[in-house]
Amino acid sequence: MRISEVAKAARVGVETVRFYERRGLIEQPLKPVNGGLRCYPESAVMQISFIRQAQELGFSLGEIEELLSLKSEPDADCSDIRRRALNKRDDVDLKIKRLRQIRASLTALIDACPGEGALEFCSIIEAMEPRERNASGPDGTQSKRSNGES
């Protein structure tokens, strides 16, 4: 198969195939001595599909490289993969917790925002500014927001 055929069959772009080759996730076939096009085995499609599915499950390319390495080791045990999947699930749970906290913070900011008026007095922008900027302006003088001026 040519690279374009592999890419089409795996539902990725040619550049993705090349990127995976550069990362060492799939093997780049040797260039023919007669100068023709590289010929990829059909297994390259399965390899790319595995990579894409692992990415969909949240695994990084580095983690996928480790999974592929384990997959090719005859002594590897399913418990190794299970442990990595459990760790990934724990990471996802932590991200979900953080995202819920972010959502709650955003909801509080949105609820406190009047939704109109000068941007200079926007409570959402003010909440994202560093605290020292809230207390004084760039020249060291009190800002309008911190000294009560309107």
The domain spans of the chain are: 1-75
Give the mean pLDDT of 113-124. Answer: 85
3-state class (DSSP) for residue 145: helix
Fold of 1-75: Multidrug-efflux Transporter Regulator; Chain: A; Domain 2 (1.10.1660)
DSSP state of 12: S
CA dist 118 → 107, 114, 121, 143 (Å): 21, 11, 6, 15
Q: Check if the beta carbon of residue 65 is closer than 8 Å to that of residue 83.
A: no
What is the reported pLDDT for 141?
54
Q: For residue 139, what pLDDT band results from cuts at 50, 70 and 90?
A: low
Q: How buried is residue 118: exposed, middle or buried, by Cβ count under 10 Å (0-12/13-18/19+)?
A: exposed
Give the mean pLDDT of 57-86. Answer: 92
- pTM over 0.85? The answer is no
Token pair 């195939």 in the structure block, residue: 17
Q: What percent of the chain has pLDDT over 90?
A: 62
Backbone angles phi, psi at 30, to 5 degrees: -65, 145
